[in-house]
């Protein structure tokens, strides 16, 4: 043992899209029962006796604007179950700085918008904290390299919430893919988010794109389980709905029979509807990643997601809509449910508790932090047990390259020159290749 203090004090930055459903409920479970009971989901139950007495305590929640009242609402939500637990609601443009100075947490959970991950992570590391962050780690290689270097220098953990790595269906297929299917020729992956994400939930949609937001999940599982390295990127995208949202939301309102004035956003939203990315890997394998965030609310599932692996001896396929849980409810229509991500258990008279791979990802990062802080395990020992910042460097490189290539191809297409731009990836840089370019 390295420390006699068996409590991890956690500060949470941002509310996040899945806060109430997954992030917040996971922390409620951990505050109530500790981490030991959740270790089976990540294959680490043998560690349960060593961490059974470790207490998780959320000490502060910070969001940007007091006008939204998000931090206060979250704190009130925690107090429903933990009325005696002091949790501070904090606000400010750089709210993490105030939290770091005032509360001195052990762990900072970063659930801020995609483009506002880097500075809170760096400042938290400098203050001696370990970090859990929502995906993607960041949006550029330069930022990723700063984070990786800072974590190494501080000897601290930066764990990324890449929850699809813990999806039992995907994990089962990809862990065994090379053994069953032989040499892999191609991976095809689709993840499509609802229209509400880009038009209602995320005021910052223009600062990111659907590939960065959810394509990072597929990149992570492919890179992690198949151990491939990207060497080239081609990308194109579409800007037909959101960029003209001032016009098209009226037509959507007409089709739904509602007043256009009830739409949260009515002005043009300058971001991509969808992005399609082709990645070539070092062994010749190709990855095709298709992502958008304009799925209509009438679609049967919360998202549309599927991944298919083609090998020389066979193939595997995982599709959310084919997992077998569908409902048809008057007033709600036909819906696909995915309890393996964020299902609930509540016995009569008992507490509500989340299970599933959404929680498992958080648990993997927290366990690594506990092992480093309280059990004295080295960063090297922990390296393969959670999604590290270093494991996300190639993911971020592809995200950045795809963003550049898609934009240049979009401009070229508007100019009648087709889509001639690609990118070559090296360890050091992204090389943009364009006929007639420099």
Do the domains 7-164+342-389 and 165-341 sit in the same CATH topology, yes or no? no
Q: Could you write out the DSSP letters of every residue in 93-151?
A: TTHHHHHHHHH--SEEEE-S-GGGSHHHHHHHHHTT-EEEEESSS-SSHHHHHHHHHHH
For the chain, domain boundaries: 7-164+342-389, 165-341
Q: What percent of the chain has pLDDT over 90?
A: 87
Peptide bond preceding 49: is omega within 30 degrees of 0, i.e. cis? no
Please, where are the H alpha helices in 133-244?
141-154, 168-175, 177-181, 195-196, 210, 216-226
SS3 193: strand
Instruction: Provide the sign of the torsion angle of the four alpha carbons 250, 254, 260, 264, taken in this order.
Output: negative
**Phi/psi-derived region of residue 40, left when phi > 0, alpha when psi is between -120 and 50, beta in every other case:** alpha
Say whether domain 165-341 belongs to CATH 3.30.360.10.
yes
The CATH architecture to which 7-164+342-389 belongs is 3-Layer(aba) Sandwich (3.40)
Whole-number pLDDT of residue 437: 66
Is residue 1 pLDDT above 70, yes or no?
A: no
Whole-number pLDDT of residue 2: 41
Q: How far apart are CA 412 and CA 414, in angstroms?
A: 5
Q: Mean pLDDT throughout 36-65?
A: 96
Q: Could you tell me which residue, 27 or 5, shows the higher pLDDT? A: 27
Is residue 4 pLDDT above 60, yes or no?
A: no
pTM (predicted TM-score): 0.95
Whole-number pLDDT of residue 69: 82
R_g (Cα) of the chain, nearest Å = 22
């Amino acid at each position: 043992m390295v420390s006699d203090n068996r409590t991890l004090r956690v500060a949470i930055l941002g509310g996040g899209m899945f806060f109430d459903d997954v992030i917040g409920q996971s922390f409620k479970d951990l505050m109530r029962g500790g981490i030991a009971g959740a270790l089976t989901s990540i294959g680490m139950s043998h560690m349960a006796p060593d961490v059974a007495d470790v207490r998780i305590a959320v000490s502060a929640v910070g969001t940007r604007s007091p006008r939204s009242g998000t931090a206060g609402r979250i704190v009130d939500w925690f107090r429903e179950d933990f009325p005696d637990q002091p949790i501070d609601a904090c606000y400010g443009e750089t709210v993490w700085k105030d939290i770091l100075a005032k509360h001195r947490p052990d762990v900072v959970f970063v659930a801020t918008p995609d483009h506002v991950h880097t500075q809170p992570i760096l400042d938290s590391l400098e203050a001696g904290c370990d970090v859990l962050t929502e995906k993607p780690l960041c949006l550029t290689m330069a930022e990723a390299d700063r984070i990786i270097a800072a974590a190494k220098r501080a000897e601290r953990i930066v764990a990324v919430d890449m929850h699809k790595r813990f999806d039992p269906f995907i994990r089962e297929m990809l862990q065994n893919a090379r053994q069953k299917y032989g040499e892999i020729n191609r991976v095809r992956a689709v993840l499509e988010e609802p229209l509400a994400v880009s038009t209602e939930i995320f005021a910052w949609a223009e600062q990111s794109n659907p590939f960065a937001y959810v394509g990072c999940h597929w990149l992570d599982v492919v890179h992690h389980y198949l151990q491939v390295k990207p060497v080239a990127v081609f990308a194109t995208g579409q800007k037909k709905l959101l960029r003209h949202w001032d016009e098209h939301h009226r037509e959507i309102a007409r089709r739904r029979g509602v007043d256009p004035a009830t739409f949260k956003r009515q002005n043009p939203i300058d971001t991509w509807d969808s992005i399609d990315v082709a990645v070539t890997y070092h062994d010749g394998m190709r990855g095709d990643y298709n992502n958008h965030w304009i799925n209509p609310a009438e679609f049967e599932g919360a998202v549309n997601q599927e991944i298919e692996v083609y090998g020389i001896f066979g193939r595997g396929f995982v599709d959310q809509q084919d997992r077998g849980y569908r409902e048809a409810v008057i007033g709600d229509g036909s819906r696909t449910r995915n309890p393996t991500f964020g299902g609930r258990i509540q016995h009569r008279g008992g507490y509500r508790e989340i299970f599933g791979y959404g929680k498992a990802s958080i648990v993997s990062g927290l366990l690594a932090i506990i092992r480093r802080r309280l059990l004295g395990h080295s960063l090297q020992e922990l390296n393969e047990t959670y999604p590290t910042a270093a494991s996300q460097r190639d993911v971020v490189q592809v995200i950045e390259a795809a963003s550049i290539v898609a934009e240049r191809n979009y401009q070229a297409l508007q100019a009648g020159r087709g889509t001639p731009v690609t990118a070559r990836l090296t360890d050091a840089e992204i090389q943009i290749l364009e006929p007639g370019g420099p």
